[in-house]
């Protein structure tokens, strides 16, 4: 569990604990209870009055200098790579290391003492005249000497201005009075010298002005008469030239009017001719467009007809090829089936032929012996379907239903000679009887 810490832009919140120290400006953070501690450092501008009383200058004159300094924690810096202003964590951490937990008054006093010491140090290297005449240079020197110490403390000097400079022995007052008297004397001397020079200059200028004025009036009168004569001569020449010019203008105007009319007629003819030629060209273009359109339509129709014809030809060719392929397939299948049937028939005929030859060689006794040998297999084949029967129920009045199954199989086997006789013409009963008679005769 813990607290939510809010750090506004004008404060730096520093959380310390097992996780180390963390710095937040203008953000929110989380602090664990008991194991972490949060302290805040103000980043606001501090106005500090610096008074150096009885500070000695380089010539031993003691002065009283009062100035105002604006100081703040060095919290921002300019990133040279991106051009953006970011948080200067090093400056804030330096200030926190020195003043975290201190009151605003203690911070003011520490900074004031640093600035006041540097101010006294600079005063000891200057004369009263230098301080009095160039306060800006004095302020700049104080700023240069204090920047290093303030940066080490985590602060920066925003502004520094000298408010007043005074001394306890009246040195500056005497310096001012002497300077004032000197300025007044120089002012009076300058005024008298300027007035004398001005009187001389005025008299000289007035006499020269009268002479120049008389000469100017005479020259002006002569010049005026000459100008009037020149004006009369110029007017005469002007009138003559205007009459000649007017005559020439009238002639040129008449010629221009005639030439304009002729040129207008020529232009009208050219316009008419160009219009006719343009219309003719337009007509030719329309005819050419019509011919191209007719030719295009013809080509489109020819192309469509050729496409339809080509499509029909392709369809007919495809049907013919498919028919040929089907016919070839059916023929091949028929030929194969015919060959198979022929081969099967030939094989069966050969078998039958060989069997016939073998049967002819066998005697009746041999046939009987062969049949007798096959009787158990025949009986087995007749009784084999009974294996597929899961359950058999016999119904009988005399209780002999079970024994009748054997009798039925025996009767089926006894019917075998009759079936062989009908199928092959061979009479097994006679052959067996004949074989039995031969055996009896041999025995007797």
Tokens 């304009």, residue located: 260
| Token pair in block for residue 7 | 């750090």
Gap between the Cα atoms of 272 and 98, Å rounded: 104
On the question of pLDDT at 152 being above 60, the answer is yes
Question: Does an H or E element contain 347, and which?
Answer: helix 171-361
Task: Categorize the per-residue pLDDT at 395 as very low, low, confident or very high, splitting at 50, 70 and 90.
Answer: low
Q: Is 253 helix (H, G, I), strand (E, B) or coil?
A: helix
Output phi, psi for 314, to 5 deg.
-65, -40
For residues 378 and 413, the answer to whether their CB atoms sit within 8 Å is yes
| Residue bearing the bigger pLDDT, 91 or 348 | 91
Tokens 């060689």, residue located: 361
Gap between the Cα atoms of 378 and 149, Å rounded: 130
Contacts of 43 (CB under 8 A, 6+ apart): 9, 10, 11, 12, 25, 72, 73, 75, 92
Task: Categorize the per-residue pLDDT at 72 as very low, low, confident or very high, splitting at 50, 70 and 90.
Answer: very high
Its pTM stands at 0.39
Question: Is beta strand 22-32 parallel, antiparallel or unpaired with respect to 2-16?
Answer: antiparallel
As a whole number, mean pLDDT of residues 133-157 equals 86
How high is the pLDDT of residue 442?
45
| Among candidate residues 439, 413, 441, the one with its CA nearest the CA of residue 428 | 413
Question: Does an H or E element contain 32, and which?
Answer: strand 22-32
| Among candidate residues 111, 119, 113, 120, the one with its CA nearest the CA of residue 156 | 111
Task: Categorize the per-residue pLDDT at 387 as very low, low, confident or very high, splitting at 50, 70 and 90.
Answer: low
Q: Check: CATH 3.30.479.30 for 43-169?
A: yes
How high is the pLDDT of residue 272?
80
Average pLDDT, the chain: 79
Query: What does the domain layout of the chain look like in residue ranges?
Result: 43-169, 363-386+405-444
Which residues are 29's β-sheet partners?
5
How high is the pLDDT of residue 209?
79
On the question of pLDDT at 89 being above 70, the answer is yes
Q: For 94-132, what is each residue's pLDDT tens digit?
A: 888 888 888 889 999 999 999 999 888 888 888 877 877
Gap between the Cα atoms of 29 and 32, Å rounded: 10
On the question of pLDDT at 359 being above 60, the answer is no
Q: For 330-340, what is each residue's pLDDT tens digit?
A: 887 877 887 88
Task: Categorize the per-residue pLDDT at 71 as very low, low, confident or very high, splitting at 50, 70 and 90.
Answer: very high
């Amino acid at each position: 569990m813990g607290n939510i810490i809010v750090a506004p832009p004008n404060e730096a919140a520093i959380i310390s604990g097992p996780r180390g120290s963390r710095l937040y400006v203008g953000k929110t953070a989380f602090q664990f209870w008991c194991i972490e501690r949060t302290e805040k450092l103000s980043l606001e501008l501090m106005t500090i009055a610096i008074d150096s009383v009885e500070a000695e200058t380089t010539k031993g004159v003691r002065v009283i200098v009062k100035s105002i300094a604006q100081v703040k924690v060095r919290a921002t810096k300019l990133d040279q790579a991106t051009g953006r202003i970011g948080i200067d964590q090093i400056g804030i951490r330096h200030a926190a290391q020195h003043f975290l937990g201190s009151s605003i008054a203690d911070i003011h006093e520490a900074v004031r003492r640093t600035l006041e010491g540097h101010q006294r140090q600079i005063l000891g290297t200057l004369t009263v005249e230098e301080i009095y005449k160039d306060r800006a240079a004095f302020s700049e020197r104080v700023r240069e000497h204090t920047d290093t110490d303030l940066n080490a403390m985590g602060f920066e000097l925003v502004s520094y201005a000298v408010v007043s400079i005074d001394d306890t022995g009246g040195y500056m007052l005497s310096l001012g009075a002497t300077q004032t008297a000197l300025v007044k004397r120089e002012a009076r001397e300058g005024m008298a010298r300027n007035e004398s020079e001005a009187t001389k200059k005025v008299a000289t200028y007035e006499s020269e002005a009268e002479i120049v004025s008389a000469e100017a009036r005479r020259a002006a009168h002569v010049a005026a008469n000459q100008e009037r004569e020149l004006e009369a001569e110029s007017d005469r020449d002007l009138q003559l030239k205007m009459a000649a010019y007017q005559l020439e203008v009238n002639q040129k105007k008449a010629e221009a009017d005639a030439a304009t009319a002729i040129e207008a007629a020529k232009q009208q003819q050219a316009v008419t001719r160009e219009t006719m030629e343009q219309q003719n060209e337009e007509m030719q273009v329309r005819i050419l467009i019509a011919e191209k359109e007719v030719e295009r339509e013809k080509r489109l129709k020819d192309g469509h007809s050729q496409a339809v014809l080509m499509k029909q030809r392709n369809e007919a060719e495809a049907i013919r090829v498919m028919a040929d392929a089907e016919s070839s397939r059916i023929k091949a299948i028929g030929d194969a089936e015919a060959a198979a049937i022929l081969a099967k028939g030939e094989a069966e005929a050969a078998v039958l032929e060989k069997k016939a030859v073998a049967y002819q060689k066998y005697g009746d006794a041999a046939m009987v012996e062969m049949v007798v040998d096959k009787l158990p297999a025949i009986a087995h084949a007749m009784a084999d379907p009974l294996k597929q029967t899961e359950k058999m129920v016999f119904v009988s009045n005399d209780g002999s239903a079970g024994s009748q199954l054997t009798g039925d199989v025996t009767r089926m086997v006894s019917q075998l000679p009759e079936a062989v006789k009908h199928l092959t013409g061979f009479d097994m009963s006679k052959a067996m009887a004949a074989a039995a008679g031969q055996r009896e005769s041999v025995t007797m």
